[in-house]
Structure formats: C-alpha cells, structure tokens
Chains A and B, each alone.
Chain A
Amino acid sequence: MMQASFSLALREIVRFLRQKNRVIGALATPVLFWFLLGSGVGRSLVTPGFRGRLDYLTYFFPGIILLIVLFTAIFSTVSIIEDRREGFLQGVLVAPAGRSAILFGKIMGGTLLAVFQALVVMLLAPYSDHHPDARVLFHLIAMTSLLAVGLTALGFLIAWPMDSTQGFHALINLFFVPLWFLSGALFPAGGAAEWVRTLMRFNPLSYGHEALQGLLATKQGQPLPIDLSQDYSIICATTLLLVMACAFQVSRRS
C-alpha cells in the first residue's frame, strides 16, 4: 500500500509543478494579498503581538502562511473531482492498493506541497528578518504539517462525494474562507465583538494561527512566548478526526 500511496503523492507533486498557474495561484496570490493588504493598512491599524505592538504587515504574515496551506490543500483536493470526472479515479479504484491508499497518497501529496510552499515563503520572504533556530524550525514544520494534513483531509472530505468543481468552489467560499477569517489571520480576537470571539475560540484553525504567530515572533535563542501544548493537542485531535472521517468515507462503496 505504501508504494501506491507514495506513487499517488509523487503524481500530485509532478502535476502541480507542470501546471504553472497552480503554482502561481497557491503561492503568488497569498503573497500578493499579504503585500497589498499589509502595506495598504500599514500603520492605520496597530495590532497587539506577542512582543509589543505590530504594524499590519507583520501581523498579517502568519495568517498568510495559513492561507498558503489552505489554498494548497484546496487545490490538491479539487483534483479528486477532476480525476473522477475524467475517469482517472476509476482506474485507481479498481487497483488492488485499496481506497485508503488513495486517501493517504492525496494527503501526503497535498501536505508535502503545502509545507514546502509555506517554508519557502517563511524563510525567503525578504521582509522577515526571521532566522529561526532548529527548535523553532522544527515546531514550524511540525505545526504546518499538522495543519496541512488536517486541511487536506477537510478538502478531501468535501471533494470526495462531489462531481462538479463549481460546487466545490461554492462550498469553499462558504466554509473555508470564513474559517480562515475567524482564525485570527486578519484581525486579533482581542478587539472583536463577543460573538466573533466565541466563534474564534471554537475554530481549531485559531490555535494553528496562534502557534504560527508565536513561532514566527521568536528570534534565535528567545524562549517561546506561548505554551504550544494546547495548540498541538487541539490541532492533532482535529486532524485525526478529519482523517478518520475521510477513511470512513472512502471505505464506503456505493
């Protein structure tokens, strides 16, 4: 089964790299958002950070990393619908590898792509004078990977029963985008209305955002400003639940 899953993951990566517009969509769009919105808002809003007050460009950065992971997860799961429509998926379904191999292949592929892109932006962004030490880098990779697995699984869960990409995009706008809005990516929970704050507290993505925000604000040698264990447990539990839901869904044959 591993051979099949690896092969499916590799296919995701090769397909991604061959479709230049996907690379642009998943990487350039969030970076452009960040740059325009961050620079535009600039100092009009001074937001609280873990180490003093931040201009919006800095505040918005962890949210953009989250958006890159989100976009990559969406784009790599929308291909399930295309695969189904074009007939490719049927060929995979009749292979002895089994359906869970498809799930793990997709999640592995989506996660690798998402983590790689997030890392590129985190480390190469000329703006960030962020040089993480090994400890921070480890947590960044671990947290981004968990988020990517969870979001790819969520995309998979929605895409699997669908037969049109239009329907999928409609659901994304209704579901994924608010999930991102309410994660702290755009505004801090502190100044929000009570009901928004409550929603944010129940949004698992908020904990991912919090972890990224804390990690990205940590320079070499500094202690972490937050206790990551709560963030990890919530993200781990949610991710596990989503993967299990996917496994249940693919195992059902019509």
Chain B
Amino acid sequence: MADASLWAVEAEGVGYSYGRKRVLENISLRVEEGGMFCILGPNGSGKTTLFKILSTIFALQEGEVSVAGRSLRQFPTPVRKKIGVLFQNPAVDMKLTVRENLRFHGNLYGLDTHDLEKRINKSLEALGVDDRGGELVENLSGGLRRRVEIAKVLLTRPSILLLDEPTTGLDPAIRAELWSIISGIRNTRKLSVLFTTHLLEEAEPADEILLLDQGRSVASGKVADLRSSLGKEYVRLGSYQPKKLAARIRKEGEIEVTAEPASVKVVPIRGLAAPLAIKLWRQYNKEVTSVTLCRPTLEDLFLQKTGRHWSSSPGEF
C-alpha cells in the first residue's frame, strides 16, 4: 500500500444518511497530491453531500477520510487549515469591501496580522483584482466576485482546493476564465484540486473521476482508462425517424444498432468505425441528416453502467 502522505485526500467506505434516507453508500476515493479529481454525478447523486463531508461541514457518519495524511474524524482543525473551499454560492460578504472580506477571512484562519496585509496584496494581485480592493463586493460583476472569492481562498495557502459545482450560474466566458485561473495557479504551485460537477464536459480535463449515481459509486479511475474500457469508436446517424432507420440498418449484420432520440447509434462488431460511417452515409443518404464519428464518452459510460441517459433523473424515461 502506498504511503498515506502521497494522497491529498483519501476516503474509504464513506456512507451517509439523512435520518432514514440513505444518500451515500460505501464511497471510496483517492486524490493524488497535485492531482485534479472530479466527482461527477447527475443532480441528486449525492455529490454535494460527499463534498460537505470532505469539506468538514457534515460530520463523518461512516467510513474514514484523511486529508493530507490527517484523519478528518480525529483532527478536523488541522484539516481545515489545509483545505481551501469554494462553494456553489459565493461565500463573500456583499456588504464588505474586497479587502475587508479578505481581512476577515485571514482573521478566521488566525493569520498573523502583520503578515496578513502583505498576503492580501499578493492574493489580489495574483487574481488581477488589486485595483478593486476598496469596492463593495455587491458592486462587482459575477466574474469579479468569483475572482475575489478565489483570492480569499488562496490567502490561507491551502494545499488542497475543494470546489463544489464551481461554474453553476456563471456564463460560459466566466466558466472558461475560472478554469484557466485554476490551471494557472496549479502551474505556479503544487495544489491538489477536487471538484464536483454535473456537467460531463467539465469532468474531461480531470486526471481522475468518480462517477456517482443515487449515492453509489458507478465507476472511477482515469478518464482515458474509463473511456477505453468502454470499447470502440462508433457512428451516430442523425435521423427524424430513428426507430425505422435502426430497423433497416440492423439487417446489415456485424453491427450493433440502437435507436436513440433523434439518432441511431451504430457500433461495428468487426472492423473500424470510419469506413462504416462512409458506407452508411452513402447507403442511407436520404434518411440520414448527419453522420458523426464518435469516441465513447462519459455519457456512454453512465448509460452503460446505469442503463439511463445522463439527462434523465431516476424514474424518468
């Protein structure tokens, strides 16, 4: 077994219930030091509960969690000093100025008051908001608020950054900016990152993911490994009448055909997907609106493991 200190976060057999309702069942994960880890799951999968346990808001009911080698159950205070937490809703006081927010945060973490002002300057500078120090946070745009919040979290120099659905409610430009800020920070210093998301495309850049569904771990590992475990590239044909088209294509043989809403998925049993795509395009030209050559995605993984589409919540069809 690897040395415990190698893992930024290590969770083993975590379970959680709200009263009688079971929301997490036997969840285990390991975040490598300096790694980027994603907890991916549709709404209601339990990822926010898991996040709240890891960020010490919820008490650990079952299992063990250690952060930077310290047990969360036994040493919550040293763990809290190691983590920086970015919540879905910005945890900044709108009625305070940017600088006051950072000062307040530093005091909460017991930072030395002489050192604090220097750190605040550095932090604001690093996030490009040093000229906004005296402004009330309520007067800033959503993107700037996020920057202020990151500056605030980095003030205490955490070694692990925890982010709960960090891009919810942000427009696409600010989303991209947020991720580029975080990768910028990771280039300059060693920082492990763990984040939750319900957006499949956001999980892709992570080193490793944990896929959750209804409180259970559905799959976990490196994104590339998970994809290749799903097997082959396939062809997706856009169609107005997917069922009818699927029935016709099925007669071709040596392929697996599935009718999906507005498209037909064709997986070659033997051979490659690319020549099959050209062949199908020529043959069914009149019925097909588009042809796409696809690699298995995390969405396919979810479908394979749960039998449901990503967008449908439990019980929906």
B-chain residues with CB within 8 Å of residue A222 when the two chains form the complex? none
B128 touches A (CB below 8 Å): no
A87 touches B (CB below 8 Å): yes
B-chain residues with CB within 8 Å of residue A94 when the two chains form the complex? 55-57, 80, 83, 85
Contact residue among B18, B56, B87, B104 (Cβ-Cβ distance under 8 Å from A7)? B104
For the complex, give the distance between the alpha carbons of A225 and B168 in Å. Answer: 63
B-chain residues with CB within 8 Å of residue A88 when the two chains form the complex? 91-93
B100 touches A (CB below 8 Å): yes
A interface residues with partner B (beta carbon < 8 Å): 3-4, 6-8, 11, 14-15, 18-19, 86-98, 101, 253-254
For the complex, give the distance between the alpha carbons of A90 and B149 in Å. Answer: 13
CB-based contact A18/B95 at 8 Å: yes
Evaluate whether A86 and B108 lie within 8 angstroms (CB atoms) in the complex, with A15-B95, A19-B95, A253-B57 already known: no
B94 touches A (CB below 8 Å): yes
A interface, by DSSP: helix, strand, loop or mixed? helix
B285 touches A (CB below 8 Å): no
B-chain residues with CB within 8 Å of residue A7 when the two chains form the complex? 103-104, 107-108
CB-based contact A11/B91 at 8 Å: no
CB-based contact B57/A97 at 8 Å: no
Total residues of chain B contacting the partner, CB 8 A: 31
For the complex, give the distance between the alpha carbons of A93 and B18 in Å. Answer: 19
Q: Would you give 13 A-B contacts (Cβ < 8 Å), ordered by A?
A: A3-B110, A11-B96, A15-B96, A86-B94, A88-B93, A90-B87, A91-B105, A96-B77, A96-B78, A96-B81, A96-B109, A97-B110, A254-B58
Q: How many A-B residue pairs have CB under 8 A?
A: 79
B interface, by DSSP: helix, strand, loop or mixed? loop
CB distance from B98 to the nearest CB of A (A): 14
A-chain residues with CB within 8 Å of residue B88 when the two chains form the complex? 87
For the complex, give the distance between the alpha carbons of A19 and B95 in Å. Answer: 8
CB-based contact B110/A4 at 8 Å: yes
Residue of B nearest to A89 (CB): B91
B-chain residues with CB within 8 Å of residue A98 when the two chains form the complex? 77
B interface residues with partner A (beta carbon < 8 Å): 18, 55-59, 77-78, 80-81, 83, 85, 87-96, 100, 103-105, 107-110, 152
CB-based contact A11/B104 at 8 Å: yes
Given contacts A15-B93, A87-B89, A93-B56, 18 further A-B contacts (CB under 8 A): A4-B108, A6-B107, A7-B107, A8-B108, A14-B96, A86-B90, A88-B92, A90-B87, A91-B105, A94-B83, A95-B109, A96-B78, A96-B81, A98-B77, A253-B57, A254-B18, A254-B58, A254-B59
Residue of B nearest to A253 (CB): B59
CB distance from A6 to the nearest CB of B (A): 7
B-chain residues with CB within 8 Å of residue A90 when the two chains form the complex? 57, 85, 87, 89, 91
CB-based contact A4/B107 at 8 Å: yes
B-chain residues with CB within 8 Å of residue A18 when the two chains form the complex? 95
Contact residue among A11, A87, A89, A96 (Cβ-Cβ distance under 8 Å from B80)? A96
CB-based contact A97/B108 at 8 Å: yes
CB distance from A254 to the nearest CB of B (A): 6
Residue of B nearest to A93 (CB): B57
Evaluate whether A97 and B109 lie within 8 angstroms (CB atoms) in the complex, with A11-B104, A253-B59 already known: yes
A-chain residues with CB within 8 Å of residue B152 when the two chains form the complex? 91
CB distance from B246 to the nearest CB of A (A): 47
For the complex, give the distance between the alpha carbons of A101 and B59 in Å. Answer: 18
CB-based contact A91/B96 at 8 Å: no
A-chain residues with CB within 8 Å of residue B108 when the two chains form the complex? 4, 7-8, 92, 95-97, 101
Scoring B18, B85, B103, B104 by chain A CB atoms within 10 A of each residue's CB, the highest score goes to: B104
For the complex, give the distance between the alpha carbons of A14 and B97 in Å. Answer: 11
CB-based contact B110/A87 at 8 Å: no
A-chain residues with CB within 8 Å of residue B96 when the two chains form the complex? 11, 14-15
